[in-house]
């Protein structure tokens, strides 16, 4: 009897290193980075899988549905079917840091203070990127930046 796709994914996740992508609401940037990373990691194949969380204690009322349309549209344009498209944004917990082998926050100026407040000590143990949210950057520009950062990460991560 064969394994279901979800069971295969679960086994791959248990036997792989974990990368945690963080943004504020786990709605747009971290979700896009997670899905893009996992797509490329599967095609390599890399012994890494990504998951994502939000640093805000509560999601924004502006976030409609489980995932940003900007993230969904960009993934669809690359013919990537997001595995977590139906999952609602999730807030970060200490257990998420324990599970992760690498933590990447998408915007240092935005996320370092939140990390220092909610998870003291972790603000100095995280890798920071500099990807603005939609209030400061056009989605097309932020997506292009995340595309490049994820590509660079895939090229430089320990297999």
- Write down the domain spans for the chain: 17-156
Contacts of 126 by beta carbon, 8 Å cutoff, 6+ apart: 22, 103, 104, 105, 111, 112, 115
Structure confidence at residue 135 as a pLDDT band (50, 70, 90): confident
Domain 17-156 has CATH 3.40.50.2300: yes
Closest CA to 29 of 77, 74, 62, 83: 74
Strand order through the sheet with 127-128? 48-54, 17-23, 102-105, 127-128
7 pLDDT above the threshold of 50? no
pTM above 0.75, yes or no: yes
pLDDT given at position 89: 92
Tokens of 136: 């400061």
At 37-96, the pLDDT tens digits run: 999 999 888 899 999 999 987 655 666 678 899 999 999 999 998 888 889 999 999 999
pLDDT given at position 62: 65
């Amino acid at each position: 009897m064969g394994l279901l796709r979800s069971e295969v994914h679960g086994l791959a996740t248990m036997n792989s290193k974990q990368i945690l992508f963080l943004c504020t609401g786990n709605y747009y940037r971290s979700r896009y980075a997670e899905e893009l990373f996992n797509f490329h990691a599967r095609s390599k194949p890399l012994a890494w899988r990504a998951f994502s969380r939000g640093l805000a204690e509560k999601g924004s009322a502006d976030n409609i549905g489980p995932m940003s349309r900007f993230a969904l549209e960009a993934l669809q344009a690359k013919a990537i079917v997001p595995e977590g498209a139906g999952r609602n944004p999730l807030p970060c917990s200490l257990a998420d840091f324990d599970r992760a082998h690498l933590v990447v926050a998408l915007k240092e100026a935005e996320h370092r203070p939140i990390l220092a407040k909610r998870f003291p000590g972790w603000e100095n143990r995280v890798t920071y990127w500099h990807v603005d949210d939609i209030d400061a950057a056009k989605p097309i520009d932020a997506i292009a930046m995340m595309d490049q950062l994820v590509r660079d990460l895939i090229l430089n991560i320990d297999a």
